[in-house]
Structure 1
Amino acid sequence: MARKRSATRSPWRRRLGLTLKILIGLAVIGLGALVIAVYVARSQLPSFEELKSSPNGQMIRVHAADGSVIVSLGPSYGEWLTYNSIPTVMRDATVAVEDSRFRSHPGVDPLGIVRSLWVNYQRGRRVQGGSTITQQLARNVFLSSQKKFGRKFREAILALALERKFSKDQILELYLNKVYYGGGAYGIDAASRKFFGHGADRLSLAEAAVIAGLVKAPSNYSPTADADAAKGRAGVVLRQMVRNGYVTQSQAEQADPEGLKLAPEPPQNSARYFTDWALPQLDTLIDETQAPLEVWTTIDPKMQRQADAAIRANVPAGAQGALVSLDRDGAVRAMVGGTDYVSSIYNRATQAQRQPGSAFKLFVYLAALEAGHKPEDVVVDEPVTIDGWSPRNDSRHNSGNVTLRTAFAYSLNTVAAKLGQEVGFATIADMARRFGITTQINTHPAMVLGTSDVRLIDMTRAFASVAAKGVAVVPYGITRVTANGETIYTHEVDRSRVLVAPYVAAAMTDLLQTTVNTGTGREAQIGRPVAGKTGTTTSLKDGWFLGFSSGLTTGVWMGRDDAKPVRGLHGGTAPARAFAAFMRPATADRPIEQFDTQVTLPEWQLEPDEESYYGAPDNATFVDENGNPLPQQPADPAPPTGADIGDEGPAPERTAPARTPQQQLDDLIDSVSGRDQPQRDPGPVPRRDTPATAPAAPAARQLQDARPTQ
């Protein structure tokens, strides 16, 4: 019986034995391969002196247009400290928090890997890594930070090889002098000087704990970004030092990270918004990734300071502001992405997408002009309904027959809607894309009032292309790049792409002049010819002014990051004032340039009271995000107040003062356009008949036959 059972079990025993032999054989082969790989890697490792001198990253020095250095970016290094020169508290703090078994493992710590896997399993997410100090050194010096199995395997091989070639003291010396601690600082000496204002050879226990805690997440625990988080992390380091016997509990309590005084952060000016936008473009412009670079840019330091001052002086309390200024070839001369770069690096000039309000009518009228309309063409301002959407004018009235110039100057929404229906909403969207709008544009009827989100730099680019007589202007910030004294990139301006015919751009400039001289953009006057357009969105969430003069095109946006209303914000107030505050000094040294068309005033001259000056925002509130009409609120019969009015000038209304004498009108034109007084027609000024479909027009509604010559 016993023999039978033995015979029955023997095949399974044989199979098990064979399997074990195969596994042992594979293990022996794998171990042999690992040993060979480690020693091959060891033979290829640089020497200790070579590793000490190898760079950690690429240095980039950025120059302004005048050659001055705006900022130096890339790794910063302090003095190299030998192992014996590194304070004991710094060495112990690093080992305690990063690799408590550093002195006992061969480069890879199996126990640490198992422990990290167990902790991560219990937490349900990755909260702890199993990399040793040696593995981190291998990754920082030789590999990338990609979390892939292949990289982790190579990291382990290199760590084992490093341990075979260098002593533990040498590995720790390399690590502490080369690891990244945030803020561009590599090595403990650079970190100590950045955060505490002195060399690492004088680090206290509390300071060493702060620096040692940075390695896990330099951006999260940086003392300059979040002092509380850095000090809290230092407490974790001190507890680990107590647990591993490096300091006593009493010493840890006396360290007191909360009482540390950090070195003051050097001031950051708003030019960093520009460098943050321009420098990433190097990846597509050049292939050099190692040699130090000298990057020459278009930014004008004087204009940048003027732009920063203009935004700070005019932005409403609690709001943000942005400004972009382009030269005639697209060179960015000034860029402000917010009121304070230190508190917020978010660039509202290039990243924020906001509704432009009536500033978007630029593309509506460009499409109409290209379709054959002229500024003097007469259209009927009357109620209109398109696909269930009924736009209204800011004044709540319609004025009958008006010219396109009048409709544009006073931002008549009904006329814009009719033009959009006539030329096609898809055509207007194509026109916007043609002029450089890169964000998504809807083609619902309400799009004519600026319901699609846009970027300030794109809108500024579009106005610059109009100023360039219809030739495409592409913003750029880098003029040339040199490496080791050799030029490896030079920007070339392309002026070959024509967007619209010159006469279309000239007619658009004609309309834009009117807006600044008598319409909603009067605060943007600077004593020389200016063409521009205001924009205000519903509930006063966004205010825009974009315009150009003397070869310089500038766009201004103001609003809150959370898109909440800003009391009193209109495109014709704070943004237009910031535009003027910047453009007056920015153009002071430039010759006065006349436009192809002279200033021609609209048909109706309105009383310059608060309502006619600012009007109200466009009624884009009455469509949802898909362009579907929403129930409209009844018009408020009370006159608008400063909290309710916007910047879009109203249509001709019920009353107006007696007409200004022609001589005073000419003087006004001279003062805002910066040219000699034009010739006047001394003939009589006939009255214009009031259309039967329009409300009763005041006596002051007279056709300006006696206009400046065009």
Structure 2
Amino acid sequence: MDKRGDRRRRAAGTTRPRAAASDPSAGHGRLRIWIRRLFLWGVALALLAALFLGIAVAFAARSLPSFYQLQATQNAQTIVVRARDGTVIVELGPSYGEWLSSGEIPDVMKDAMIAVEDRRFYSHPGVDPYGLARALYTSITDDRRVSATSTITQQLARNVFLNSNRTLDRKLREAILALALEWKFSKQQILELYLNKVYFGGGAYGIDSASRKFFSHPGTELSVAEAAIIAGLVKAPSRYSPTADVDAAVARAEVVLRLMQEQGFISPAQASVDVSAVRLKEDPSQNSVRYFTDWALPQLDLLLPETFEPIEVWTTIDVGMQAAASAAIKSHAPGGAQGALVSLDRDGAILALVGGTDYVQTNYNRATNAMRQPGSSWKLFVYLAALEAGYKPEDRVVDTPVTIGGWSPRNSSGRNSGETNLRTAFAYSINTVAAQLGNEVGFGTVASMARRFGITSPITTNPSMVLGTNEVRLIDMTRAFAALSAGGASVEPYGIVKVTSSGGEVLYRHEQQRSTQLIPDYVTAGILDLLQAAVQTGTGRAAQIGRPVAGKTGTTSSNKDGYFVGFSSGITTGVWMGRDDNRAVGGLQGGRAPAQAFAAYMRYAVKDRPIEEFQTELKLPEWQTEPDDEYLYGDPDDYYYVDEQGNLIEPGRGVGPLEDGIVLPGSGRPAPDDDGGRSPIPPPARRAVPAPPAPPVGRGEDGEPQAVDDNFLDRALGRQREPAPPPPDGLPRR
């Protein structure tokens, strides 16, 4: 078509739509335009961000101290920990050793640190873009949190200028400071600062201090294996400390050696060095009180604002009790087994805490961290639920084989004793009775009772849970028993009384939390009766100390765990024994070694306290002392009743139960909800109504007819009358 033809068609109004309007290439063109615009905007924003970043880094670099100022500045905090009497029990603080210049630091130490912490240290500008991108990709593809991507320079910036809070703001400042450090200092200076300032655990800052602490020689003499051990500590100083867990330290060092070989720092022969043969320095200053400080001091991060000034921490620990607790665990734990002990005052103050037989050998805290089965000591919650549901210590129960949901518990004695009472069943820890009680009150009710008393670990509600198959922490079980020592009121364990500055200013002071009554008084009295019987005549006889003691033993299947938790004179103590690998321990039972260790410790712990008797007298609530309504309404024979059909029934002529299930006089049948007085729901009141005027059945002294006979009036008014003369003829005797 020529242009003239197009003009003619337009003039005639018959112009066809342009082919371009339906051409897909037009849409592609618009897309290219938008992509070009977005690209240009992205470049502009990136340039703007780079400009701002450059300005921020430049300002940060100008404000940084000089290399020599950083070399002379040490900002670690010193902490003095005191017992309740003011005695210093441990001093925690920095130990720096000698400053080693870059030339004095062994190359193997530099290589080990770079291999495990920052393999691209010499190529990145302070922040590793490749490492960050890989961490983000791993997080997205594996649905995990972003893993640590801090370079050595970022770690130095954090250790010197910032804190360890995991916030976006802190990470951004860390990145800017790392770029500023790289701008201002050389790689060798940064590595020298890092290796002299990084924390290696146990109060040791810098490789010279760590070398002297762990290997008894200066940092200039580090071997390949020793350098690998030290480099492995940076990730988790407490977990991989060779004085705390040799196996963990060796395993971590072997990882460092493998990375060093892969990156070409050492030969295969050097990488195969026997790390376990490295001789470690013994640390006689470590003792069992460190289990307590390891548990208590991390709480300072929550109790105090961020500060680097020296502080003094005043704790609840009793020095004498701590020593007695440590000795009791060491002397009674079976060979190859570990032991733990927690002792609480009635307000929750921790008087002694032992997490193992030897802190130097292993600092794993079995008192606060280990999850183990409590065995029959868990029956505390079963019997609490039963007592709250209406059982009493004298109530009769039957020790007989039972099967609940396909589960058939057996007694440790292998036999059944038949009919007994609740007190004896608890004292001798009869499993079949506990199973029946748990089934009756409900396994969920037992779990709720445990939660009420402070058990925080997961609880399953299968039938076997009544025998203590749920794993718990010793400190939680001790807390539960302490609540009973406190009269059924909640107890919150605490270890720090106050924190002061070096100048004496109080930075924190413990405030006693408001206590909550967990169970009624009659339940407390009932469980104290049972717990005392368990020590006096039952499985806990080895825990006797010459004064009233209440407690409960616990032994798990195959003798893997032994438990005893009890209290006397306001002090509650829990003891656990077993192996870390959960293997059986021959002869281990809660009533033997754990109860004996309890007694050995408690004889010392209560020696200066007055003897206290337990209040076991039951003051039952009305619904238990009044099983029916005769107390309120008198003799049912003295009332008229309305039967199911609405008929008025004369006194003494009841014909059957009312529709609410209550037996009327003369029915001769028990109420369908009668459970022997153990139901937690009080029996419903009878629908008794005062008797309306009845036909004359006699005459009073005035000769007028009376509505009720004299016998009823005498009983109602408490009068004594002479025997009545024979009634007139024609009148029946009532």
SS at 1:186's partner residue?
coil
Contact 2:560 2:582 in 1 (8 A): yes
Retained in 2: the 8 A contact 1:392–1:414?
yes
Please tell me whether residue 541 in structure 1 is matched to residue 574 in structure 2: no
Distance in 2 (CA, whole Å) between partners of 1:384 and 1:100 is: 64
With over 3 angstroms needed to count, the CA separation of the structure-2 counterparts of 1:443 and 1:146, relative to structure 1, is closer
Alpha-carbon spacing, 1:27–1:373, altered in 2? closer, same or farther (3 Å): closer
Contact kept, 8 Å, 2:229 with 2:250, in 1: the verdict is no
Unaligned runs of 5+ in 1: 1-10, 599-710
Alpha-carbon separation, structure 2, partners of 1:428 and 1:488: 42
Which moves more between the two structures, 210-219 or 541-550? 210-219
Deviation at 1:482, TM superposition (A): 1.7
Please tell me the residue identity of whatever aligns with 1:487.
V
Task: From 575, 583, 600, give the equivalent of 1:581.
Answer: 600
| Alpha carbons of structure 1 residues 460 and 96: separation in structure 2 relative to 1, 3 Å | closer
Contact 1:420 1:428 in 2 (8 A): yes
What TM-score, normalized by structure 2, do the two folds share? 0.66
1:325 partner SS: strand
- 1:349 corresponds to which of 337, 345, 367: 367
**Structure 2 vs 1, CA of residues 398 and 58 (structure 1 numbering), >3 Å: closer, same or farther?**
same
Give the aligned partner of residue 656 of structure 1.
none
Quote how far apart the aligned CAs of 1:505 are.
Answer: 1.8
Q: How does 1:438-587 map to 2 (within 5 A)?
A: 438-484=456-502, 485-494=504-513, 496-587=515-606
Report the Cα distance in structure 2 between the residues aligned to 1:153 and 1:572, rounded to whole angstroms.
58
Change (3 A) 1:415 1:52: same
Larger Rg: 2
Looking at structure 2, the residues matched to 214 and 204 of structure 1 have their Cα atoms a distance apart, in angstroms, of: 14
Aligned to 2:160: 141
Q: Rate the CA distance shift 1:27–1:355 in 2: closer, same or farther, 3 A.
A: closer
> Aligned pair in 2 of structure 1 residues 315, 21: CA closer, same or farther (>3 Å)?
closer
CA, structure 1 residues 39+311, in 2 after alignment: closer, same or farther (shift >3 Å)? Answer: same
Tell me, in whole angstroms, the C-alpha distance in 2 between the residues paired with 1:102 and 1:383: 70
The corresponding residue for 1:409 is 427
1:524 Cα offset (Å): 1.2
Deviations 1:515-536 (A, max 9, x none): 2122111111122221211122
Secondary structure in 1 aligned to 2:312?
strand
Corresponding residue for residue 293 of structure 1:
311
Which letter does structure 2 place at the counterpart of 1:275?
Answer: T
| Contact 1:213/1:233 (8 A) holds in 2 | no
Q: Alignment partner for residue 437 of structure 1, among 438, 455, 476?
A: 455
- Note the C-alpha offset of 1:476: 1.4
| 1:297-336 → structure 2 map (5 Å cutoff) | 297-336=315-354
Equivalents in 1 of 2:467, 2:596: separation in Å?
23
Q: Which residue of 1 aligns with 2:196?
A: 177
Q: Which has the larger displacement, 303-312 or 219-228?
A: 219-228
Asked if the contact 1:212–1:237 (Cα under 8 Å) also holds between the matched residues in 2, the reply is: no
| SS at 1:295 equivalent | strand
* Residue pair 1:361, 1:449 contacting (<8 A) in 2 also: yes
- Higher mean C-alpha deviation, range 96-105 or range 278-287: 96-105
Give CA-to-partner distance per residue, 1:616-643, whole Å, 9 cap, x none: xxxxxxxxxxxxxxxxxxxxxxxxxxxx
Match of 1:187 among 206, 211, 215: 206
Contact 1:209/1:237 (8 A) holds in 2: no
Within the candidate set 279, 291, 296, 1:273 is matched to 291
The whole-number CA distance in structure 2 between the counterparts of 1:267 and 1:144 is 29
Deviation at 1:97, TM superposition (A): 9.1
1:426-469 alpha-carbon deviations (Å, 9 max, x no partner): 33322222222222333344333323332222221222221222
Asked if the contact 2:225–2:274 (Cα under 8 Å) also holds between the matched residues in 1, the reply is no
Over 3 Å counting, the alpha-carbon distance change for 1:45 and 1:516 in structure 2 is same
Name the CA distance, whole Å, in 2 between partners of 1:21 and 1:443. 63
* Distance in structure 2 (CA, Å) of the matches to 1:237 and 1:417: 56
Q: The residue matched to 1:322 in structure 2 has which SS?
A: strand
**SS of 2:460 mapped into structure 1:** coil
Amino acid corresponding to residue 572 of structure 1 in structure 2: G
Question: What displacement does 1:158 show?
Answer: 3.3
1:83-94 equivalences in 2 (<5 Å): none
Q: Quick check: 1:419 aligned with 2:437?
A: yes
Counterpart AA for 1:464:
A
Q: Does 1:78 align with 2:64?
A: no
**Is 57-66 or 574-583 further displaced after alignment?**
57-66
Aligned CA RMSD, in angstroms, stands at 4.7
State the TM-score, normalized to the length of structure 1: 0.68
Q: 1:439 and 1:130 mapped to 2: Cα distance?
A: 33
Would the alpha carbon gap of residues 356 and 327 (structure 1) be closer, same or farther in structure 2, given more than 3 Å must change?
same
SS in 2 for 1:321: strand
Distance in 1 (CA, whole Å) between partners of 2:113 and 2:398 is 78
Question: Partner amino acid for 2:546?
Answer: G
Cα distance in structure 2, aligned partners of 1:131 and 1:432: 43
Q: Distance in 2 between matches of 1:565 and 1:260?
A: 32
C-alpha separation between the residues in 1 aligned to 2:127 and 2:166?
17
- C-alpha distance in 2 between matches for 1:98 and 1:317: 41
Whole-Å separation in 1 of the counterparts to 2:537 and 2:42? 90
CA distance in 2, matches of 1:28, 1:238: 38
* Conserved? CA contact 1:297–1:480, under 8 Å: yes
CA distance in 1, matches of 2:587, 2:405: 33
Q: 1:184, 1:231 → 2: CA distance?
A: 20
Work out the CA distance in 1 between the residues paired with 2:114 and 2:401. 77
C-alpha distance in 2 between matches for 1:221 and 1:59: 22
Comparing both chains, which one has the higher relative contact order based on Cα–Cα distances under 8 Å and sequence gaps of 6 or more? 1
Higher alpha-carbon deviation: 549-558 or 146-155: 146-155
The alignment of Structure 1 onto Structure 2 pairs a total of residues equal to 578
CA contact 2:339–2:575 (8 Å) conserved in 1: yes
Q: Partner amino acid for 1:591? A: P
Q: Is contact 1:234-1:257 (8 Å) kept?
A: no
Structure 2 gaps of 5+ residues are 1-28, 618-734
TM-fit CA distance, 1:150: 8.6
Q: CA deviation at 1:582?
A: 1.5
